[in-house]
Structure 1
Amino acid sequence: MKKKAYFASPLFSEMELLYNEQLVKKIRTNYPELEIYVPQEQMEINDKNAYADSMQIAKYDTNALLSSDFMIAIMDGAIIDVGVATEIGVAYQAGIPILGLYTDSRQLGATNQKKLAALQIVGESQFSYMNLYTVGLVKLNGEIFSNSEQLIKKIREF
């Protein structure tokens, strides 16, 4: 039986679309037998020149998510994309394993004493922040990776 993955990611800027395309291509190259649902490829509801109402989008993507064996969630950005965070909540509630990807370079240097000392000064944190509730949902039902190679390797387990 063919395994299915749901790819949750922001998809509104050229940068996001190109990154998604590039990462999904790598995953498909490594796992040609894996069926990946990528919302940006679903032109019936995601062609931004056309029209799909909120209920059509919610039903279409949620049905695809609920029929998936696992979810890949791109968690990069100034904050986790609202749609991705919502999809993480749906996946968690449905018991669908979640593989998060968070590549923000500000998470590096966790042992650097100057960066740690700066945490005591208001407005000087050198680290990024992620909503801990959303992070917790991913960790309770999956894992978060700091680079795409780790994520791609982990997919093998599914």
Structure 2
Amino acid sequence: MLIYFANSLFSNADRLYNQNLVAAIRKTYPEVEVYLPQENASINDKSAYGDAKMIAQADTDRVLKSQLLIAVLDGPVIDPGVAAEIGIAYAKQIPVLGLYTDSRRLGADNPQKLAALKQVAENQFAYINLYVAGLVKLNGEILTDEGTLVQRIGNYLA
């Protein structure tokens, strides 16, 4: 099985997070191949040169070969590359596990937070693009912690 791991990869924090979570997946499922785009130096060594077509072709080929896409949905907005990869996976009916750990999703039953929604500029909750979230939900699920994500991968192993 090939898993494609989609997340932003431009900050040290992102790269370390990706590296650590993919290491946990590889340790739990040693029989599974995980494609982590930041490990593809031919297109993602930012001190070298990889043009838009090279990057698009390399990553799209890997999405299309995968049997599962893991997509990190965190951030002020879903990373545009991740959103595109989700769209490709959806179009090809490749299951998607979204990971959304934003702590602002908590407190859905807090009356103060709910009342604040009626005030301008007092939304206490994070917004996630509903179209992209819908694509994930139509062909997979959105999980809220790494442990559950790693565990749930087992449901997709053939």
TM-score past 0.5 threshold: yes
Map 1:60-139 → 2, pairs under 5 A: 60-139=58-137
Separation of aligned partners in 2, 1:17 and 1:31: 21
Corresponding residue number in structure 2 for 1:56: 54
**Counterpart-to-counterpart distance in 1, 2:16 and 2:36:** 13
Q: Which residue of 1 is the match for residue 35 of structure 2? A: 37
Distance 1:155 1:146 in 2: 14
Partner of 1:140: 138
What SS is found at the alignment partner of 1:99?
strand
Match of 1:6 in 2: 4
Q: Secondary structure at the match of 2:70?
A: strand
Residue 26 (structure 1) shift: 0.7
Q: TM-score, normalising length from structure 1?
A: 0.98
Unaligned segments of structure 2, at least 5 residues? none
Q: Distance in 1 between matches of 2:30 and 2:7?
A: 20
Secondary structure of the corresponding residue to residue 74 of structure 2: coil
Shift of the alpha carbon at 1:135? 0.3
CA distance in 1, matches of 2:15, 2:53: 23
User: Matched residue of 1:73: which SS?
Assistant: strand
Please give the root-mean-square deviation of Cα atoms over the aligned residues, in Å: 0.4
Q: What residue identity is the alignment partner of 1:151? A: L
For structure 1, the residue ranges without an aligned partner over 5 or more in a row are none
Separation of aligned partners in 1, 2:14 and 2:150: 18
Equivalent residue of 2:5, what SS?
strand
Amino acid of the structure 1 residue aligned with 2:11: S
SS in 2 for 1:123: coil
**Runs of 4+ with deviation above 6 angstroms:** none
How far apart are the structure 2 equivalents of 1:109 and 1:8? 28
C-alpha distance after superposition, 1:32-56 (max 9, x if no partner): 1110000000001100000011001
- What amino acid sits opposite 1:43 in the alignment? A
Q: Tell me the TM-score normalised to structure 2 length.
A: 0.98
Other structure's SS at 1:32 match: coil
Q: Return the offset for 1:59.
A: 0.5
- Quote how far apart the aligned CAs of 1:64 are: 0.5
**Selected match of 2:19 from 18, 21, 30:** 21
Identity of matched residues, % = 55
Please give the per-residue CA displacement for 1:70-118, whole angstroms capped at 9, x wherever unaligned: 1000011011000000100010001100000000000000000000000
Shift of 1:62: 0.3
